[in-house]
Chains A and B, each alone.
Chain A
């Protein structure tokens, strides 16, 4: 009997999720199909979060399980291209090494179907700009817990404008220390201190 992978993820039932994936891979089911079921689970989790039935802790548990499952599935994708709904480059700017918030965003955004390029923490201005140049994402995301990282964000945005890379790009900033003031300062298109709200904004920014 096939277990409901999406529901097992919602229940953060590790044994069922990982057991089922191993079993179905053995039965030669395509990894891409499994990923799609897991993403369906992540979407249900997102809905529960929005209605207030789920809290960050539940999201954390499911997201952790989702990333464990992806660690098994992603290497098996080989040449199969995954359908993605958009591309995001994300990182924590220079001077800030916090990543828990960013990592949650990265996992949940993957779960929502975004292609994510995570530049890590303490990311220099130049690296953000070069990545935007090379990857051409629709969205650039900054994550921050410290006020001194506002300056490198601003420098990044200024350099993007100078290089003519800002126009086709949406910028969103997230993290506990960010506010509307920060959004205005950067001339960003979105801002949030809540991951699900961030996903919603990202979708809206690219017209989904």
Chain B
């Protein structure tokens, strides 16, 4: 086995800055579900009990001999102390194990219209924060005081989780989470309804997004100051070439993400673009985003090799072990897949090996180990 010459912190820093690395860093994007299941807790148990949930990730970390960085710390949400803060949770009807679903089910998102066209005027006049504050009862019947308490507890825990990883010599890339205006509207209005808005009332939709974007930016700046971590996950799963032609992308997704990413970079905040689904067609646009201040994090639907071709020398790429391979594949398949990523996407640095979107709840431990170990055993040429 070749000699490691960098610490995990140095390795991840170098990968993000496209500088030489001793080996490709591994930073699995994962939540508590796979670790909790592995530890023998029910999913609901781990969700109810922060310590059980979070520390089960730490146990998996120890079990596999560690990895290089976290994209998100794992359990809590970097919420700001306001009634409108969602800390990046998709605004919509979320169904949770234990309450709406069975003890051991995966959480699920029910796609229903919780924002309607009738709300658009309010968003345009009040901005996103003002709209959310005005209608807070609708989205969270818990009441103002309770909600703010919840956000504060989330942020406190988030900081504890960041510190836990830091003490292990592990950097967490994100101190805030947000979504593009299109992503927010697609999940809160539904894919079909927001698509109708695009074709039927484009100017109005644009005005809505204009009214949202600055509030989304300022919330991220506040969250990353509070968490002390200058990084943000920017979620975009409903705006790419899988769904929309480029003229729509250029009007309803790209200008907003660009504005957000540039504003973050100006504050020294690194953006991890969480790009689920196929963004292959959109890759050339990313070359106009600030260099070395953005990571394109892919879920296996985008052609990651094409991404390397287009983005090499400009931004780091993370990804993209397919969820289905983690749950149904074999360690050999995992190793082969990861080796190929390391050889091609990892060439000349600028690559972080990660799970595509997240580590699935039914991931096999031997598969997970195979992924982590491949970065330790297989060095880029």
Contacts and interface: CB of A to CB of B under 8 A. Distances in A.
B181 interface: no
B323 A95 contact: no
Interface string B350-362: 0000000000111
Contacts of B241: 55
A187 B192 CA distance: 33
Contacts, number: 75
Given A57-B198, A95-B106, A193-B301, A147 B327 contact: yes
A146 B301 CA distance: 15
Contacts of B242: 56
A150 B108 contact: no
A19 interface: no
B195 A181 contact: no
Contacts of A55: 241, 243-245, 248
B324 interface: yes
Contact of B324 (A57, A100, A182): A182
A12 B199 contact: yes
Chain B interface size band reads 20 to 34
A147 B195 CA distance: 27
Interface in B344-381: 360-362
Interface residues of A, number: 27
B206 to A, nearest CB: 16
Contact of A177 (B111, B191, B323, B333): B323
B244 A96 contact: no
A44 interface: no
B148 interface: no
Given A57-B248, A61-B196, A146-B106, A179 B191 contact: no
A181 B329 contact: yes
A150 B243 contact: no
Interface of A: 12, 55-58, 60-61, 64, 95-100, 146-148, 150-151, 176-179, 181-182, 185, 193
9 contacts: A55-B241, A56-B242, A57-B198, A97-B108, A100-B192, A147-B326, A147-B361, A150-B327, A177-B324
Across the A-B interface, give the 10 residue pairs with the lowest CB-CB distance, nearest first. A147-B360, A147-B327, A179-B324, A55-B245, A56-B243, A57-B244, A57-B195, A185-B328, A181-B328, A181-B324
